[in-house]
A and B are shown apart, each in its own frame.
Chain A
Amino acid sequence: GQQLNQSPQSMFIQEGEDVSMNCTSSSIFNTWLWYKQDPGEGPVLLIALYKAGELTSNGRLTAQFGITRKDSFLNISASIPSDVGIYFCAGQPKRLQGAQKLVFGQGTRLTINP
């Protein structure tokens, strides 16, 4: 079953607004990843985080690996219509280190009103 709690489940925003979503777990993670999935496509990696406290940007996207290693957040600044989609967090649990295994959150569905 799922071990990551991702919130919010859905967001309805105006174009140009900033977006923030997060992922939490009761377990420690070694790696945090953020993906975007468009309808009818597979997830595409946006940002990968490997160290506690790490803050990484990719254009208008910024993600952070929480200090406790149990959470991560993703921010999108100045949203545009092509940001619409489902965003997933994923992580490699510490207890599965070496197992090359990812656990995914339930996703945040982003809808943008023009």
Chain B
Amino acid sequence: EAGVVQSPRYKIIEKKQPVAFWCNPISGHNTLYWYRQNLGQGPELLIRYENEEAVDDSQLPKDRFSAERLKGVDSTLKIQPAELGDSAVYLCASSLGGSVAEQYFGPGTRLTVT
């Protein structure tokens, strides 16, 4: 069974440019999470989807970040415009719902903003 797929794996952009990350969760997983992981830190939740509904976006910086999961399957996270402090690894995870322990993480997208 395929795991969580993310693309691109790496992205280097200049500040003020837009960037988008894509995530395809494990088939059948209705819950999807986007995390940001700063260097030397653990992941921090940005947004959680139950099917196509964003049920927790309290940690998403809404002035520049947006996310969508239109058909309740794959998802896109966008930053516009990017700032230097956005450099981090952006992780996507998915679960079948229920226990928080059943989250499976993708490999992440490493973003470098110059």
**Distance, CA A101 to CA B91, complexed state (A):** 15
- Residue B100 interfacial (CB < 8 Å): yes
Q: Measured between alpha carbons, how far is A41 from B93 in the docked complex, in Å?
A: 12
Q: Assess A100 versus B42: contact at CB under 8 Å? Given A31-B100, A31-B101, A44-B105.
A: no
CA distance A95 to B65 in the complex (A): 27
- Number of B interface residues at 8 Å Cβ cutoff, please give it: 23
Chain B residues lying within 8 Å of A40, measured Cβ to Cβ, are 9, 107-108, 110
Question: Quick check: B107 and A2 within 8 Å, CB to CB?
Answer: no
List, in ascending order, chain A residues with CB within 8 A of B108's CB: 40-42
Interface residues of B in 73-114 (CB under 8 A from A): 91, 93, 99-101, 103-108, 110
Q: Which of A42, A48, A101, A104 has the most CB of B within 10 A?
A: A42
Enumerate chain B residues within 8 angstroms of A4, measured Cβ to Cβ.
42
Q: Which residues of B contact A43 (CB under 8 A)?
A: 43, 91, 105
Tell me how many residues of A have a C-beta within 8 Å of chain B: 24
A100 and B100: CB pair below 8 A?
Answer: yes
**A45 at interface (Cβ–Cβ under 8 A)?**
yes
> B106 contacts A101, CB within 8 Å?
no
Which A residues touch B101, using CB under 8 A? Answer: 31, 33, 45, 48, 50
* Residues 87-114 of chain A, each 1 if its beta carbon lies under 8 Å from chain B, else 0: 0101010000001111011110000000
Say whether A107 contacts B100, CB under 8 Å: no
Q: Which residues of A contact B106 (CB under 8 A)?
A: 42
